[in-house]
Amino acid sequence: MSGRGVNSNIAPLSIFNDTVDFLRPFAEESMETLTAWTEKSISTEKAIYEELQEVAGKWREQAAVTLLLQKAVECLITPQVQHTGNVWEKDSDIWPRLLAQRRGSEKR
């Protein structure tokens, strides 16, 4: 966020007000005080970011569980495939049909 804090896509400037009245109280503080406050703010910012990363990790794990459950439901509602039990069934008229289709497509 800040130059030395956590690098993030979230803009801290959305709550920063760059007006003289907003900055006036800080102008009365010493450089040492402002530097100490800045370091504490950076430290707090990093701690909050780490907490967010932990929560985001928990969310990703839960989202994976949700997806797994949704896929299980899809599997249950998908009709079972009807097949021949892996037994080859000879189609006695397959060649005449294929030849007829081929001849029909050649005429076009």
Per-residue pLDDT of 13-59, as tens digits, reads: 556 666 667 787 888 899 999 999 999 999 999 999 999 999 999 99
Top pLDDT among 5 and 3 is at: 5
What is the structure's pLDDT at 1? 45
Per-residue pLDDT tens digits for 97-108? 778 877 876 665
Q: Which of the pair, 93 or 10, is modelled with greater confidence? A: 93
**Cβ distance 1 to 12 under 8 Å?**
yes
pTM: predicted TM-score of the whole model, two decimal places = 0.50
Q: Is the per-residue pLDDT at 91 higher than 50? A: yes
